[in-house]
Every structure is written in structure tokens, then in C-alpha cells.
Amino acid sequence: MTERFPARMHDVTDETRAIVDLVLEYSRGRLLAEDTPLDKPLPPSELRRLAGRTIDADGIGARKAIGVFEHILAPSCISTDDPRYLSFIPSAPSKAAAAFDLVVSASALYGGSWLEGAGAVHAENEVLRWLADEFGLPAGAGGVFVQGGTLGNLSALVAARETARARGIRPDRWRVVCSAEAHSSIASAARVMDVEVVAVPVADDGMLRGEAVSAALAEHGESVFAVVATAGSTNFGIVDDIASVSAVTREHSVWLHVDGAYGLAAMLSPIARHRFAGVENADSVIVDPHKWLFAPFDACALIYRDPELGRRAHTQHAEYLDTLTETSDWSPSDYAVHLTRRPRGLPLWFSLATYGTDVYRDAITRSIELAERIAAEIERRPELTLVRRPQLGVVVFERVGWERSDYARWSSDLLERQHAFVTPSSHTGRTNARFAILNPRTTYDDLTGILDTMA
């Protein structure tokens, strides 16, 4: 029977050394693997059968546990860093960022306060400062890394509403204006906040423009506490006309939030930067490093034009927190809807420090150029129809004559054969196919090979 004593999980013993060796050996192999399979999910009944019971009073031991993970659990998870993972928005963490994620966990770092994690917070803030400079935000801008775009959008909108309240505005119903093609997280945040979403229709190109925002503000007046512009929609990669939208929000003194979770990183590319004119006028922005900045899950950079407005909205007060909240120290927990947090920005910091910023610009530019190239190829094939010209790295197209069931069978077969992971999407009630090109290892041949299966 396994020996039982309370400190067994924490003391450095022969057992501990063996556990660490097992984990590091697996991690090293996964990080350096060049032929990692795409993999696919298994049904619950099959996973129960294969994995068996792994949690009991005595434990099954580290070697058996990691064996279950390596041979049963991990192969039932699709590899989001595979170059043929083209669904949703992929993740392709750099090797340096993924490796350093182990360091963050191994170092027992807390990233919620300056008192407990000054070094980590300093490094994260250097990344946030670099991003703020790229986006044209003023020298005083700053923020925090949160879990993901949903939490980033929610936190920014909470700060926007609190700022409107501080100005003495008290409408019967609060409202937020956004594009009808804005990300679902805006509606989610509105439900949590119990506010109304004013979804403004867009033209065929999918872009929200200042004229439409102006009409919405004229209709709803001071009840609108924020306008959300999208910098790279998830479904199409469309960037709103942020310049005209920002002109209207500045005229009406309404908070402008830019949801750039997917696409705002494209500002790093010289061939796409022009699309984001007006971002420099935003009151808050988000961008997800676990998307186009090649960091591991989960990380969203939330940046305020005036961080003090975020701090006033989010600082939590309690007797045991007084030692933190009564100082002027920069504590990341004060800038979003959270308290406990890991320093999730550190893997990105390490990768940027390791490789430099120019390689990021090159990698993003390559994805945009590949999207343009494959869009041209789609237009050359008579059986395919391009739905919209790509602006960034998302390419949406239809197979002539196919119904939803045809797309579903095709997608399932691609994954079953481990050829690619491309799930169907839809627009205006029509099913389509969609490439989300992000991974620098994705090739033109990968994409044309997938198109060939639709012939």
C-alpha cells in the first residue's frame, strides 16, 4: 500500500524527482516533436473504457497516470498547433513561449499584486507597453493580461459603464452599440451586466462605420455607455472602419472599446497596418496573444487609455487586501474582473525577449499573404465561390451545390483521415467552409490539398 503522510506531495524525495523527470521528459518530447498527429476526439463511453478509473484513495502513480495521458487522453484532443488546424481561431505558440509556460508554473509565481510578483508584473507591463505603442496609445496607457477575450471585453465594458456613472449619467436602461457581426462575447458581457446590445447592421463588406454608429447614438442618447468596434471579426477577419467610428465617439464623448482579440495583432504587419487607423483613439482595446501573437492558452491583453478608470471600476476592497489597495503599486488584479491570477503574460514576454519583434511581423505578414494567395486560387476553381475578399488571415468560401450535410460529411472525413481540421461555418443562413490561417507552418500546398478534396 502506498505510504501516506501529509508532506508527501510537497517534499523533495526520490518519488518527487521521478515525477518531475517523467513530466519533463514528456514535455520535451512534445515540444520538439516534428510529426505530432492532428488527433481527434473519442466518445465518452470509449474514453471511459480506455482510461478506466484513474482517481482513487491511493492513486495510480505518476508513471501510469502520464501513460494514460500520453496514450489515451492527449490523442483524444485535437492539436491546435497543427498547421492543418484551420478551424475557429487556431493557436500556434512559439517553442520559446510554450517552454517558458513550464517555468511559470514551476516557479510558483503569483501575478495579482506588485507586492507578491513585482518582477513578473514588470515583465508583463513591458509587453503591454510595447503593444500600446504599436497601437498608437498614449504613454500612460496600460492594463493587464486576463484569461481571454470574453473576460477582456467584459472588464473593459464594466469600466466604461462605471466611467459613465461617474459622470452622473443615470438612464433607465444602459446600452452598448456594436456591429451585428461583433463577437458573441459582447452579447455575453451584456447579459452578465444586464445591459442592452444595439446591434447595428453592416453593409455587404461587413464593416461597421461611423454613420451607422451616429444614427444609433442619436436614437438612444446617453443610455449608450460604450461603442465596440471590431478589429478583425472571428468569422471573416473583417476590420471595422475604426477611424470613422472613433470620430463619432469622440464627438459624443462615448467610450470606444476595440475588440481586437483575433485581428489587432495584424497591426504589426506593414501590409495590414493601414486597416486599423483610429485604434489610437480607443479608450480600451484587447488582443489575444494565444491567437496571432503565438503564446500558449490562455492570455488576453487588456489595455486602457487611462488605466486609472479601469482601477476605479475593478479594485476589490477587503480588510485582508488593505495592504495592497492602500498603495499606488501597479497590481494587475485591480484592472479586470478577477483577483487571483497567474502571470499569463510571461510566456509572451520570454518569446519576445528571445526572438525579437521583427519575426512576429514577418510571421503575421506571411499569414495574410497566404490568405490572399489561396483566395485567388479559390476564385480560379469553378466549383468554389469566395464569399468575401479576405482582409487578414480568414478565408471564407462555398462549394457550389453543397448543402450543410455535404459540408459536415466532408469536414468529418478530413478529420477522420487526419488530413485537416476544417469545420463548416455559415453566413446569412448559408453554410460555407472557412480557413483561419495563423500558423506560420501552414503551407499553400496544405490548403490546395484540402481544396482538392472538394472537387
Query: CA angle at residue 343 from 340 to 344, to 5 degrees?
Result: 105
Bond prior to 21 in cis (omega within 30° of 0) = no
Contact predicate 433/425, CB 8 Å: yes
- Sequence-ordered alpha helix ranges (H) in 381-403: none
For residue 412, tell me if it sits in a domain. yes
Average of per-residue pLDDT across 57-70: 97
Domain boundary among 314, 340, 355: 355
Q: What's the length of the chain?
A: 455
Is it the case that residue 326 has pLDDT exceeding 50?
A: yes
CATH assignment of the domain containing 333: 3.40.640.10
Percentages (nearest 5) of helix, strand, coil residues in the chain: 50, 15, 40
Is it the case that residue 435 has pLDDT exceeding 90?
A: yes
Residue 134 DSSP label: H
Q: Are residues 323 and 370 in the same domain?
A: no
Q: What SS3 class is residue 381? A: coil
* pLDDT score recorded for residue 3: 61
- Which contacts (CB < 8 Å, 24+ apart) does range 101-104 have? 101/296, 101/347, 102/24, 102/27, 103/346, 103/350, 104/342, 104/343, 104/344, 104/346, 104/347
Q: 393 is in which domain, residue-wise?
A: 360-452
Q: How do 425-427 and 430-436 pair as beta strands? A: antiparallel
* Distance of alpha carbon 173 from alpha carbon 222, whole angstroms: 10
Q: What percent of the chain shows pLDDT beyond 70?
A: 99
Q: Are residues 259 and 318 in the same domain?
A: yes
For residue 213, tell me if it sits in a domain. yes
For residue 285, tell me if it sits in a domain. yes
Q: How many Cα atoms are found within 13 Å in the side-chain-facing hemisphere of 422?
A: 30
Average of per-residue pLDDT across 393-403: 98
* Distance of alpha carbon 391 from alpha carbon 417, whole angstroms: 31
Which of 242, 273, 238 has the alpha carbon at shortest distance from 365? 273
Q: Are residues 222 and 331 in the same domain?
A: yes
Q: Are residues 341 and 269 in the same domain?
A: yes
Which of 446, 352, 350 has the alpha carbon at shortest distance from 101? 350
What is the amino acid identity at position 64?
K
Residue 139 DSSP label: T
Domain boundary among 322, 355, 388: 355
Domain boundary among 310, 334, 355: 355
Q: Are residues 366 and 351 in the same domain?
A: no
pLDDT tens for 189-240 read: 999 999 999 999 998 999 999 999 999 999 999 999 999 999 999 999 999 9
For residue 201, tell me if it sits in a domain. yes
Contact predicate 276/304, CB 8 Å: no
Q: Are residues 343 and 369 in the same domain?
A: no
Q: pTM of the entire structure?
A: 0.96
pLDDT band at residue 1 under the 50/70/90 scheme: very low
Q: Are residues 71 and 118 in the same domain?
A: no
CA–CA distance from 448 to each of 80, 84, 100, 373 (Å)?
20, 11, 34, 10
